Amino acid sequence: MPQRTPLFEAHVSAGGKIVDFAGWELPIHYGSQLKEHETVRADAGVFDVSHMTVVDVSGPQATAFLQKLLANDVAKLGFEGKALYSGMLNAQGGVIDDLIVYKTAWDYRVVVNAATRDKDLAWINQQAAAFDVTVTERPELAMLAIQGPNAIAKVKAAKPHLAALIDSLKVFQGMPAGEWFVARTGYTGEDGLEIMLPASVAVAFWDALLAAGVAPTGLGARDTLRLEAGMNLYGHEMDDGVSPLAAGMGWTIAWQPAERDFIGRSVIEAEKATGPAYKQVGLVLEGKGVLRAGQVVKTPAGDGVITSGTFSPTLKLSIAMARVPAAASERVDVDIRGKNEPARIVKMPFVRNGAKVFE
The percentage of residues in the chain with a pLDDT greater than 90, rounded to a whole number, is 99
pLDDT surpasses 90 at 283: yes
Q: What is the mean pLDDT of the chain?
A: 97
pLDDT for position 359: 78
Radius of gyration over every alpha carbon of the chain, rounded to an integer in angstroms: 20
- pLDDT, one tens digit per residue, over 22-59 is 999 999 999 999 999 999 999 999 999 999 999 999 99
CA–CA distance from 77 to each of 107, 191, 330 (Å)?
11, 21, 37
Q: Residue 320's pLDDT band (boundaries 50, 70, 90)?
A: very high
pLDDT for position 23: 93
β-pairing verdict for 53-58 and 134-137: antiparallel
Mapped onto helix, strand or coil, the DSSP state of residue 253 is: coil
- pLDDT, one tens digit per residue, over 179-194 is 999 999 999 999 999 9
pLDDT for position 341: 98
pLDDT for position 145: 98
pLDDT surpasses 90 at 358: no
Quick count: other Cβ atoms within 10 Å of Cβ 335? 15
When pLDDT is averaged across residues 94-98 and rounded to a whole number, the result is: 98
Which value, to the nearest 10 degrees, does the dihedral of the CA atoms of residues 251, 255, 260, 264 take? 60
Q: Residue 162's pLDDT band (boundaries 50, 70, 90)?
A: very high
* Residue type for position 264: G
When pLDDT is averaged across residues 295-314 and rounded to a whole number, the result is: 98
Q: Which residue ranges form the domains of the chain, and what is each CATH number?
A: 1-275 (3.30.1360.120), 277-356 (2.40.30.110)
Residue 335 DSSP class: E
